[in-house]
Structure 1
Amino acid sequence: MSFTVAIDGPAASGKGTISRAVSEFFGYAYLDTGLLYRATGRRMLQGLDAVEAAQGLQAADLEADDLRTAEVGQAASRVAAIPEVRAALVDFQRAFARRSGGAVLDGRDIGTVICPDAEVKLYVTAGDDERARRRHKELCEKGQEVTLEEVLDDLRIRDARDSARATAPLKPADDAILLDTSAMTIDQAVAQAIKVIDAAQA
């Protein structure tokens, strides 16, 4: 039996951490759909046409060790605004979502476009300053030299592009449950998400 949990939200809101944790808790498969766009963006930076990069994406492309860099993040946001790129990746995501045993997908348009019939839809958010602090800490721990101001600017540019694109803009689904993690610990946010999913299964 399939059971789909769609978790959307802007960068560094905590959606990835929450998604991984709830997938482990319930034993569901997990897909970070942002990696599909990051891998496509990375291939574009290497010189490929964005649509060809998406159509030829391989599982190995999702394992590259530089997918979390700021440069690849911006490239991902650019390719995600291309309708043909999104179309090339939709089928993969929908098939994953309906696999037997349950699935958790996180991204920007899971509850609105990819899985509008998902049993659970969460929209995870946090304030700009808090998201920038989290992402800055993450990048610094990976050895990248970047200022907090640069990270904040980068996040705001991506948010604006993701929210304004014509195809599948970043926004909560009408029936999504909002989870603001600004003042939450990871454990508190995960516990809240688990509570929502438990209620949907009851």
Structure 2
Amino acid sequence: MSKIIIAIDGYSSTGKSTLAKQLAKKLGFIYVDTGAMYRAVTLYAIRNGYISDENFDVENFVLELDKIKISFLFNPQLGFAEVYLNGENVEKHIRTMQVSGFVSPIAAVPEVRYLLVKQQQEMGKNKGLVMDGRDIGTVVFPNAELKLFMTASDQVRAQRRYDELIARGEQVTFDEVLHNVRERDYIDSHRENSPLMKADDAIEIDNSNLSIDEQFEKIKKMIEEMS
């Protein structure tokens, strides 16, 4: 098929990245995980003491943004690009509960969104791109040829995230993860700048009761019908 932009938005732990990777591989498109970009910025803020449970020094953090360089490098063994923060592979470091707990307030900072949206739009200039996040179809690529909005019940999403964290060896409880999922939903949906919302022309996919393969086949068929 001709090169298009596929924008995938939705709530946390709805499998956006998994689906985006599958579609990019199938179509031979470039995949960009914008969530990883925001997580990398969050990791920088944590490491440098700008955000913690007690404090968020937004003013000084914003002054540091020009020191943050985010890039993606394809890993042939994994089959997808990993995220680098100032030259360091931080793919594993950005997936922790600590980062998850702070990523929504970081992403709500207008200067952060402006910086990353600008980079994301540059990545899509030549099309042939699958990008997932919170505001891809509404802000980053409002003219994307295909927009998907992923959703699932908070209980299902929390269970997926909990299983993933336990498999990595993190010591967390299901209630902690559920609280984090609900808190992120609220912050992402109510922030003033680029809130999480379904674009008018996006197709909503509720995957509460769909397997990864079932979801992929459903959307692959949808794309084939567009050709």
Question: Is 1:97 aligned to residue 124 of structure 2?
Answer: yes
- Name the CA distance, whole Å, in 2 between partners of 1:31 and 1:53: 24
Count of residue pairs brought into register by the alignment: 200
Alignment-derived partner of residue 177 in structure 2: 151
Worse-matched range after superposition: 71-80 or 170-179: 71-80
Equivalent-residue separation in structure 2 for 1:50 and 1:123 (angstroms): 31
Aligned residue in 2 for 1:26: 27
Q: Which residue of 1 aligns with 2:109?
A: 82
Separation in 2, partners of 1:125, 1:170: 12
Aligned residue number for residue 62 of structure 2: 51
Greater fraction of residues in strand: 2
My pick for the range that moved more, 88-97 or 163-172, is 88-97
Which runs of no fewer than 5 residues in structure 1 stay unpaired? none
Q: Which has the larger radius of gyration?
A: 2
Provide the secondary structure at the position in 2 that maps to 1:198: helix
In structure 2, the partner of 1:72 is: 99
Q: Which aligned segments of 4 or more residues in structure 1 are displaced greater than 3 angstroms?
A: 52-55
- Runs of at least 5 residues in structure 2 that lack an aligned partner in the other structure: 51-59, 72-83
What does residue range 1-202 of structure 1 map to in structure 2 within 5 Å?
A: 2-47=3-48, 49-55=60-66, 56-59=68-71, 60-61=84-85, 63-64=89-90, 65-100=92-127, 102-200=128-226, 202=227
1:33-66 per-position Cα deviation (integer Å, ceiling 9, x unaligned) = 0011000001001125443454322322173121
Residue deviations 1:7-52, cap 9 Å, x none? 0011101111111111111110000000110000010011254434
Amino acid at match of 1:107: G
Q: Which amino acid aligns with 1:160?
A: Y
More deviation, 46-55/116-125? 46-55
CA distance in 1 between partners of 2:178 and 2:125 (Å): 36
Cα distance in 2 for partners of 1:54, 1:77 equals 17
Secondary structure at 1:172's aligned position in 2? coil
Conservation of the 8 A alpha-carbon contact between 2:40 and 2:70: no
Once residues 156 and 5 of structure 2 are traced to their aligned partners in structure 1, the CA distance between those partners, rounded to angstroms, is 29
